[in-house]
């Protein structure tokens, strides 16, 4: 089973922001129930957003106003102190918050992160779990939402807290 054979027609041609429908929701709903589906979905997100894919995190749970994403500690995401690099943590926070928002939005909405505040509370080592529970309405009306993401280590201790300032609005009309 490969990504292309499973996703079939849900591959966006104009990118996720202007694709018809909610590509994140369609892909997750199609893949998550399959063996290895969350892995394939995570690869799909990484292919559509290559910088996000550079940390090779796995989206393990996704539903309206909730996402859970796992990042395994390995040399590619570490800094010189042998802990997960600050920018890898920021990337993980953005990925987690963004998929939670994207999954929740109606088909005619899009979003963009307009700012981020991030606190590094302790060195992040080992497998990390990011969770986000944004309060996003199912509307494409222009709005600004603060999306909180918490990243915890394998002991459940809070390592990083991020707040994404997310702008939501209607997709551009097709031309």
Give the pLDDT of residue 1. Answer: 54
Residue 18 inside a domain? The answer is yes
Residue 175 inside a domain? The answer is no
Residue 8 CA to residue 70 CA, distance in Å, equals 26
Q: Determine if residue 65 is left, alpha or beta; phi over 0 gives left, psi from -120 to 50 gives alpha, anything else beta.
A: left
DSSP assignments along 35-100, one per residue? TTHHHHHHHHHHHHSHHHHTT--EEEEEETTEEEEEE---GGGB-TTSSB-HHHHHHHHHHHHHHH
Among residues 44, 16, 12, the alpha carbon closest in space to that of 101 is found at 16
Residue 144 inside a domain? The answer is yes
Instruction: Give the end-to-end CA distance of the chain in Å, rounded to a whole number.
Output: 36
- pLDDT digits (tens), the chain, 175 positions: 555 655 554 454 445 545 578 999 999 999 999 999 999 999 999 999 999 999 999 999 999 999 999 999 999 999 999 999 999 999 999 999 999 999 999 999 999 999 999 999 999 999 999 999 999 999 999 999 999 999 999 999 999 999 999 999 999 876 5
Give the pLDDT of residue 8. Answer: 54
Residue 134 inside a domain? The answer is yes
Expressed as residue numbers, the domain containing 55 is: 3-170
What are phi and psi for residue 171, nearest 5 degrees?
-70, 155
User: Which CATH number do you get for residue 143?
Assistant: 3.10.129.10
Residue 23 inside a domain? The answer is yes
Residue 105 inside a domain? The answer is yes
Residue 47 inside a domain? The answer is yes
Instruction: Name, in order, each residue with C-beta under 8 angstroms of 52's C-beta and a sequence gap of 6 or more.
Output: 45, 46, 91, 94, 95, 98
pTM > 0.85: yes or no: yes
Mode of pairing for the β-strands spanning 66-71 and 109-120: unpaired
Give the pLDDT of residue 21. Answer: 86
Helices 37-48 + 23-31 axis angle, to 10: 150
Residue 94 CA to residue 166 CA, distance in Å, equals 10
Provide the number of structural domains found in the chain: 1
Residue 24 inside a domain? The answer is yes
């Amino acid at each position: 089973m490969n990504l292309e054979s499973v996703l079939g027609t849900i591959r966006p041609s104009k990118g996720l922001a202007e694709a018809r429908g909610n590509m994140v929701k369609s892909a997750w709903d199609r893949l998550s129930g399959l063996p290895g589906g969350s892995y394939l979905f995570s690869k799909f997100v990484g292919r559509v957003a290559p910088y996000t894919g550079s940390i090779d995190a796995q989206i393990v749970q996704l539903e309206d106003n909730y996402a859970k994403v796992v990042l395994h500690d390995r040399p590619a995401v570490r800094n010189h102190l042998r802990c997960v690099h600050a920018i890898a943590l920021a990337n993980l926070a953005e990925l987690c918050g963004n998929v939670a928002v994207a999954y929740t939005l109606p088909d005619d909405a899009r979003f963009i992160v307009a700012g981020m505040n991030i606190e590094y509370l302790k060195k992040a080592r080992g497998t990390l779990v990011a969770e986000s529970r944004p309060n996003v309405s199912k509307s494409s009306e222009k709005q600004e939402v603060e999306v909180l993401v918490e990243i915890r280590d394998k002991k459940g201790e809070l390592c990083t807290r991020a707040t994404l300032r997310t702008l939501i609005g209607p997709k551009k009309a097709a031309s």
